[in-house]
Amino acid sequence: MSSEEGLSSTITDWIFINSWWLLLPFIMLLIVAAFIVAFVLLLYMISPLISPKPLKLNGAHVVVTGGSSGIGKCIAIECYRQGAFITLVARDEAKLLQAKKEVEKFAINDKQVVLCISVDVSRDYSQVESVIKQAQEKLGPVDMLVNCAGTSISGKFEEVEVDRFKKLMEVNYLGSVYPTRAVITTMKERRMGRIMFVSSQAGQIGLFGYTAYSPSKFALRGLAESLQMEIKPYNIYVTVAYPPDTDTPGLAEENKTKPLETKLISETSGVSQPDQVAKIMVRDAVQGNFNSSFGPDGYMLSALTCGMSPVTSITEGLQQIVTMGLFRTIALFYLGSFDSIVRRCMIQREQLKQADKRE
């Protein structure tokens, strides 16, 4: 072999060795990517094995507080059309009887029953316990409790009457604590059940005008997380629903006093229909999902605010991990937009005041 051939061979070997080292990072990246893909596929396969077993509504006893109108009534209808026995709980007896007639139209067999109970679930625990006991004596143990009783008020912090802060905490928070407390012992004895707390998107993000309302809905999240950790070993699953603005009598009443800033911010997400919201809520509760959200905005809010909340499948946790950074970036634009709305409204008010002074 000539010296030139030897030199050429040496150069070729050197290039091959160095090219290999240059390609090594890309090869390692492909190997890691392959492992990640395989891991994710494995999680998707085993996820159904660790998720809760869905609750069968056919023949189940479902109690719905705040069931005389709005989302509560639509939830009752959705459960009834799947074969459930329904107990409607609300304060207004006339509205309850009207709601009962509407729900009964969706019966799928002649054995189904709709029971009405008129009581204020936020006032006296012993009374709530008594009526829940009566309902269980008539229709059997409660399989699913939907805490939908609630009220709303919007206004600037300093303009909301002080006693309204207390009232909202009593209705929106204690009005969910009392019925839950009344059914939890029986559910634990039977080692089965579903409990739903109806919060709000205003229970995920504090907004202008909701200084009284938002805290009462945020409180439900803390209750739900703590309770879920206690009762999960008993095969009882908690769902927290975060509905957006929904076309209900409650929203119509709230809009009468809603500040301009709150209206403009709310308009960015639109208004949902109660029957569509109810279908999603019932589906999530039956499946044992901890979070129940609605639409792209709701999904993003739930991912952003998941924190230490429980997940009902590994895939749900993975989705939250993957989307967190992107959703936080989008959320910053939303927050900037909301702040801009508040500033513009403040400037407009100041300009109007100055114009009035000149006149």
Give tens-digit pLDDT for 65-97: 999 999 999 999 999 999 999 999 999 999 999
Q: Report the pLDDT value the prediction gives residue 5, as an integer from 0 to 100.
A: 53
Structure tokens at 338: 């909301």
**CA angle at 337 for the pair 335 and 342, rounded to the nearest 5°:** 95
- Which residue shows structure tokens 């907004």? 207
Domain boundaries, the chain: 4-49, 61-327
Question: What is this structure's pTM?
Answer: 0.84
Average pLDDT over residues 249-278: 87
- Residue that wins the pLDDT comparison between 358 and 317: 317
For 25-29, 111-115, 270-274, 319-323, which range has the lowest pLDDT when averaged over its residues?
A: 25-29
Residue 117: band (very low, low, confident or very high) from pLDDT cuts 50, 70, 90:
very high
Residue 352: band (very low, low, confident or very high) from pLDDT cuts 50, 70, 90:
confident
Taking 60 as the threshold, does the pLDDT of residue 223 lie above it? yes
Edge-to-edge strands of the sheet including 114-118? 114-118, 85-90, 61-65, 144-147, 193-198, 236-241, 291-292
Average pLDDT over residues 201-217: 95
* First-to-last C-alpha distance (Å) of the chain: 106
Cβ(154)–Cβ(209) below 8 Å: yes
Q: Report the pLDDT value the prediction gives residue 37, as an integer from 0 to 100.
A: 66
DSSP string, 91-116: S-HHHHHHHHHHHHTT-SSTT--EEE
Residue positions annotated with a catalytic role: 199, 213, 217
Q: What is the largest CA-CA distance in the chain?
A: 108
Residue 155: band (very low, low, confident or very high) from pLDDT cuts 50, 70, 90:
very high
- In this predicted model, what pLDDT tens digit does every residue of 54-65 receive, in sequence order? 999 999 999 999
Q: Report the pLDDT value the prediction gives residue 35, as an integer from 0 to 100.
A: 67
Taking 70 as the threshold, does the pLDDT of residue 13 lie above it? no
Average pLDDT over residues 153-175: 95
Residue 276: band (very low, low, confident or very high) from pLDDT cuts 50, 70, 90:
very high
Alpha helix (H) ranges present in 148-306?
A: 162-168, 175-190, 213-231, 249-255, 260-266, 274-287, 295-304
- In this predicted model, what pLDDT tens digit does every residue of 342-351 receive, in sequence order? 999 999 988 8
Residue 253: band (very low, low, confident or very high) from pLDDT cuts 50, 70, 90:
confident
Taking 80 as the threshold, does the pLDDT of residue 206 lie above it? yes
Query: Does CATH number 3.40.50.10490 belong to domain 61-327?
Result: no
Structure tokens at 226: 């703590």
Q: Report the pLDDT value the prediction gives residue 351, as an integer from 0 to 100.
A: 86
